[in-house]
């Protein structure tokens, strides 16, 4: 990472600009001064490597308006002599890095700029490179590795074809994301994209769910219902985990794909459909067809083209970028301040094998964010805790407070295990008073004797 510190300072008071330029230069911070925000804006592109220090009250474009117009990735430190809690809250909601009221100590400003510069350098180091040659490719398929660039190239080439495609890859590699990109870049992009997990539908309901049913077709069918094929008409139908489909149902699906028409359960009337089929499997369907586990004729009907997704361990250089992306998403969703990644954190991310691929990485980013909201822990420590404790958030739909309690319980349990029930050492490790630790152990049902060395 680049260790240079750089800042744009904006203030309509010449005396303030002069003093800030002198002070920051003495602190080895490269400074560019502007008397108005409008003059500074052309410099503040997505590639600007530094931070912005701006007064709030200025003629023309004020500091708050500047914040709204700037690239959200550039840290902005706002300064005002007329501050207040309400204004500070508004600034933070708009994405300000920090908010300082006059008079402030110059040392505090320097320290704030240094922290902001570190964040900016991590952001730039983990930002995707977008080239003009992407031809409108949706950049949700993140990564800079040759493997993921090859996937983007395939998506770009196949998106506008009207061919059915099989997407293969390990669990958690992003098969549905690729399918959505194929749809979004296709001529069908204005029509529905319908995604279903075949393995999640009971076998006895699969025909009704996919093809629909008439009222009275079976017990509980009180009214007519269209199936997923009809719902996706003129658009794209994504069938995930298609390898779980029974051989009996594969015959029915093959007929639908050959005739491009469905017949609702309980009806004799065929309904014409115009649907592009994108299917996904964590298994090699060609090999499965050779072994007799999947119909060979269905495989070739589905596989006009194939996209194979690489596991995350084969593109480790993309891990910090993806982690930062998911970390920012989780911070915004939970309204928690974004923690900074250190060099050691990035190294730990790149050294981990990620057996759960991108899905595991995303959940790890969320766990690290929640953990750091009340207990400082490095990425390496969190990954170690996860492997030793099967550390997981459980229900991903749980509330923030419920998930934080799960994290807290796992941390206390891990320390009790590591220190073999020694309460004093656990208190020191977690920096908790004995009374607080006892209350939390009682709350989570953790008993000291269960962790004593046997």
CA–CA separation, 8 and 3 (whole Å): 17
Residue 200 DSSP symbol: G
Number of helices (H), then strands (E), belonging to the chain: the values are 19, 14
Q: In what order do the strands lie in the sheet with 51-55?
A: 29-34, 5-10, 51-55, 76-80, 98-101
369 phi and psi angles, rounded to 5 deg: -60, -50
Show the domain range for 392.
Answer: 314-451
Whether residues 289 and 326 share a domain: the answer is: no
Angle, vertex CA 271, rays to CA 269 and CA 276, nearest 5: 155
Whether residues 248 and 160 share a domain: the answer is: yes
- Tokens representing residue 245 in the block: 């489909």
Final residue of a domain: which of 289, 310, 331? Answer: 310
Final residue of a domain: which of 269, 290, 310? Answer: 310
Residue 226: name the closest of 274, 275, 265, 196 by CA: 265
pLDDT digits (tens, 9 = 90+) for 141-184: 888 888 998 999 889 888 877 788 999 999 999 999 999 999 99
Residue 246: name the closest of 205, 213, 284 by CA: 205
Q: What is the DSSP string of 203-217?
A: HHHHHHHHHEE-TTS
The pLDDT of residue 114 is: 87
Whether residues 101 and 192 share a domain: the answer is: no
Tens-level pLDDT at each residue, the chain (454 residues)? 445 689 999 988 899 889 999 989 998 899 999 998 888 888 888 888 899 998 888 888 888 888 888 877 889 998 887 666 667 677 777 778 888 888 888 888 998 898 888 778 766 665 554 444 344 444 578 888 889 989 998 898 888 777 889 999 999 999 999 999 999 998 899 999 999 999 999 888 899 999 988 888 888 778 888 899 999 999 999 999 999 999 999 999 999 998 889 999 988 899 999 999 999 999 999 899 989 999 999 998 898 889 999 999 999 888 998 999 999 988 888 888 888 888 788 888 888 889 999 999 999 999 898 888 777 888 888 887 665 444 444 444 456 666 677 777 877 887 887 788 888 888 888 888 888 888 888 888 888 888 776 4
Beta strands in 104-192 (DSSP E): 165-168
Whether residues 60 and 145 share a domain: the answer is: no
The pLDDT of residue 241 is: 94
Whether residues 382 and 262 share a domain: the answer is: no
7 phi and psi angles, rounded to 5 deg: -145, 145
User: 50 by DSSP, 3-state: which?
Assistant: coil
The pLDDT of residue 393 is: 43
The pLDDT of residue 339 is: 85
What are 30's strand-pairing partners?
Answer: 6
Label residue 28 exposed, middle or buried (CB < 10 Å: 0-12, 13-18, 19+).
exposed
Final residue of a domain: which of 125, 142, 162? Answer: 125
99 phi and psi angles, rounded to 5 deg: -140, 115
Whole-structure pTM value:
0.58
Beta strands in 35-156 (DSSP E): 51-55, 76-80, 98-101
Whether residues 279 and 176 share a domain: the answer is: yes
Whether residues 191 and 143 share a domain: the answer is: yes
CA–CA separation, 48 and 61 (whole Å): 20
The pLDDT of residue 396 is: 46
Whether residues 179 and 219 share a domain: the answer is: yes
CA–CA separation, 304 and 56 (whole Å): 58
The pLDDT of residue 136 is: 45
Sequence-separated (6 or more) residues with CB below 8 Å from residue 12: 35, 36, 55, 58, 59
Sequence-separated (6 or more) residues with CB below 8 Å from residue 148: 141, 142, 310, 315, 318
Question: The domain spanning residue 370 has which CATH number?
Answer: 1.10.8.60
- Tokens representing residue 330 in the block: 């989780």
Long-range contacts of 139-142 (CB under 8 A, 24+ apart): 140/177, 140/180, 140/181, 141/174, 141/177, 141/178, 141/181, 142/318, 142/321, 142/322, 142/325
- Tokens representing residue 335 in the block: 């309204």
If one counts the domains in the chain, the total is 3
The pLDDT of residue 387 is: 52
CA–CA separation, 427 and 240 (whole Å): 48
Whether residues 235 and 111 share a domain: the answer is: no
The pLDDT of residue 103 is: 81
Q: Residue holding tokens 């959940």?
A: 363
Q: List Cα–Cα distances, 245 to 180, 197, 298, in angstroms.
A: 22, 10, 11
Whether residues 118 and 136 share a domain: the answer is: no
Would you tell me how many other CB atoms lie within 10 Å of the CB of residue 446?
16
Q: H helices of 240-378, where?
A: 247-259, 285-291, 296-302, 319-334, 343-351, 357-372
Whether residues 349 and 446 share a domain: the answer is: yes
Whether residues 144 and 160 share a domain: the answer is: yes
Question: The domain spanning residue 204 has which CATH number?
Answer: 3.40.50.300
Question: The domain spanning residue 18 has which CATH number?
Answer: 3.40.50.2300
CA–CA separation, 449 and 446 (whole Å): 9
- Tokens representing residue 196 in the block: 């279903």
């Amino acid at each position: 990472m680049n260790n240079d510190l750089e800042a744009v300072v904006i203030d309509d008071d010449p005396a303030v600009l002069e003093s800030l330029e002198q002070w920051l230069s003495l602190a080895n911070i490269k400074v560019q001064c502007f008397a108005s925000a409008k003059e500074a804006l052309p410099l503040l592109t997505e590639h600007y490597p530094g931070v912005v220090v701006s007064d709030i009250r200025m003629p023309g474009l004020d500091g708050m308006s500047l914040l709204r117009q700037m690239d959200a990735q550039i840290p902005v430190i706002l300064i005002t002599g007329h501050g207040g809690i309400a204004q500070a809250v508004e600034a933070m909601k708009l994405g300000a890095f920090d908010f300082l009221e006059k008079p402030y100590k110059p040392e505090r400003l320097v320290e704030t700029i240094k922290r902001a510069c570190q964040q900016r350098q991590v952001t730039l180091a983990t930002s995707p490179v977008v080239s003009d040659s992407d031809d409108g490719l949706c950049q949700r398929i993140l990564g800079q590795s040759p493997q993921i660039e090859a996937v983007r190239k395939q998506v770009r080439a196949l998106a506008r074809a009207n061919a059915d495609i099989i997407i293969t890859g390990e669990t958690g590699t992003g098969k549905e994301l690729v399918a959505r990109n194929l749809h979004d870049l296709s001529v069908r992009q204005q029509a529905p994209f319908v995604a279903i997990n075949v393995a999640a539908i009971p076998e006895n309901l699969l025909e009704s769910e996919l093809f629909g049913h008439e009222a009275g077709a079976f017990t509980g069918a009180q009214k007519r219902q269209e199936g997923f094929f009809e719902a996706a008409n003129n658009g794209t139908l994504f069938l995930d985990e298609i390898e779980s489909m029974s051989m009996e149902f594969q015959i029915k699906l093959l007929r639908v794909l050959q005739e491009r028409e469905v017949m609702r359960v309980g009806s004799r009337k065929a309904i014409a459909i115009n649907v592009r089929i994108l299917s996904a499997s964590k298994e090699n369907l060609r090999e499965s067809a050779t072994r007799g586990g999947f119909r060979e004729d269905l495989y070739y009907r589905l596989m006009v083209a194939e996209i194979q997704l690489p596991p995350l361990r084969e593109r480790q250089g993309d891990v910090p970028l993806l982690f930062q992306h998911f970390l920012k998403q989780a911070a915004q969703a939970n309204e928690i301040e974004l923690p900074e990644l250190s060099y050691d954190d990035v190294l730990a991310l790149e050294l981990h094998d990620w057996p759960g691929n991108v899905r595991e990485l995303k959940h790890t980013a969320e766990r690290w964010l929640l953990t750091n909201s009340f207990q400082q822990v490095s990425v390496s420590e969190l990954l170690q805790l996860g492997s030793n404790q099967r550390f997981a958030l459980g229900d991903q739909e749980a509330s923030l407070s419920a998930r934080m309690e799960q994290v807290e319980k796992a941390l206390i349990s891990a320390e009790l295990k590591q220190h073999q029930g020694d309460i004093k050492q656990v208190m020191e490790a977690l920096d908790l008073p004995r009374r607080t630790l006892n209350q939390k152990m009682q709350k989570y049902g953790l008993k000291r004797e269960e962790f004593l060395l046997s």
